[in-house]
């Protein structure tokens, strides 16, 4: 089980810049630990030890040859290789085990069947595990860090102890500091009459996309204070604003980890505040 209490450790004589850097780092380490526990039943202890270096040289089969196809070697690629190595090693160990009595995400992937009724291959399970890892870590840690920044600079921070206000603070942080700045592509259905938006017409087969960041910062939707930190706006939203708020996407293709991420962020925020 992962404990959030190491987050409360406060070294003495730090500048505000140093405090911010440490807090951002600790949120990332905590996200690693929680995801490792949920995915592999093995928290890495990164927050406790203050290190994001995952030791994989002791694990059999941790070398991943496919990464050698990447010509450019830098710290980002090295980090991905390290994470992919850890993920692959865990998957291999569990696949060759005589019995798997774990109750985690990996156990679900190991039991999953493809469209032909067969078990998933190693590459598929490793890929899905890596995707879960990457999706869960930065999104939660970045949102928490943004929330703490806005709270520290807001004159209304005393209200945070009220639970409804905590929900509003998290929503406002996700709205102002969208973790996903990519667009969410949607295709105009083939065989349809197309789509008319204002003076524009988009024929069938056209792929439309707009970034979440642009929607969340639109003054046309959120008002002239769209760029200001105002959790109070969530006390009474218009229908258009409710539809426009999509930090996890919309439709059946939305983020499957939304409920987990929200619970995780609320528990961490409540512990800190």
**Which carries the bigger pLDDT value, residue 251 or residue 146?**
146
Binding residues: 255
Domain ranges of the chain: 1-153, 157-180+211-273
Residue 49: φ, ψ to 5°: -95, -5
Binding residues for heme: 255
**Tokens linked to 41:** 């039943």
Kindly state the average pLDDT of the residues 12-19: 65
pLDDT digits (tens, 9 = 90+) for 192-216: 999 998 899 999 999 999 888 999 9
What are the start-end ranges of the H helices in the chain? 16-40, 46-49, 75-96, 105-111, 122-152, 163-176, 212-216, 219-222, 239-244, 258-272
pLDDT digits (tens, 9 = 90+) for 242-270: 999 998 888 777 787 888 888 888 888 88
Kindly state the average pLDDT of the residues 19-30: 79
Residue carrying structure tokens 């999509």? 246
pLDDT digits (tens, 9 = 90+) for 153-188: 776 655 655 567 888 989 999 999 887 767 778 899
Mean pLDDT over the full length of the chain: 79
């Amino acid at each position: 089980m992962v404990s959030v209490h190491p987050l409360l450790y406060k070294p003495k004589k730090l500048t505000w810049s140093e405090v911010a850097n440490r807090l951002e780092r600790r949120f990332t380490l905590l996200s690693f630990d929680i995801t490792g526990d949920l995915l592999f039943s093995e928290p890495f202890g990164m927050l406790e030890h203050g290190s994001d270096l995952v030791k994989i040289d002791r694990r059999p089969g941790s070398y991943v040859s496919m990464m050698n196809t990447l010509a450019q070697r830098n710290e980002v690629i090295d980090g991905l290789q390290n994470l992919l190595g850890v993920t692959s090693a865990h998957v291999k160990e569990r696949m060759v085990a005589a019995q798997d009595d774990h109750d985690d995400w990996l156990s679900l992937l190991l039991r999953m069947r493809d469209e032909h009724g067969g078990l998933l291959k190693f590459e598929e399970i490793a890929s899905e595990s890596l995707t879960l890892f990457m999706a869960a870590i930065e999104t939660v840690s970045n949102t928490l860090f943004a929330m703490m920044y806005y709270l520290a600079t807001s004159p209304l921070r005393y209200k945070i102890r009220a639970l409804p206000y905590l929900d509003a603070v998290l929503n406002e942080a996700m709205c102002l500091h969208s973790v996903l700045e990519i667009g969410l592509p949607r295709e105009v259905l083939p065989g349809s009459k197309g789509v008319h938006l204002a003076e524009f017409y988009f024929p069938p087969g056209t792929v439309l996309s707009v970034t979440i960041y642009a929607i969340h910062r639109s003054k046309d939707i959120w008002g002239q204070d769209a760029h200001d930190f105002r959790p109070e706006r969530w006390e009474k939203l218009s229908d258009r604003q409710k539809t426009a708020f999509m930090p996890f996407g919309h439709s059946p293709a939305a983020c499957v980890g939304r409920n987990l991420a929200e619970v995780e962020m609320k528990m961490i925020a409540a512990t800190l505040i």
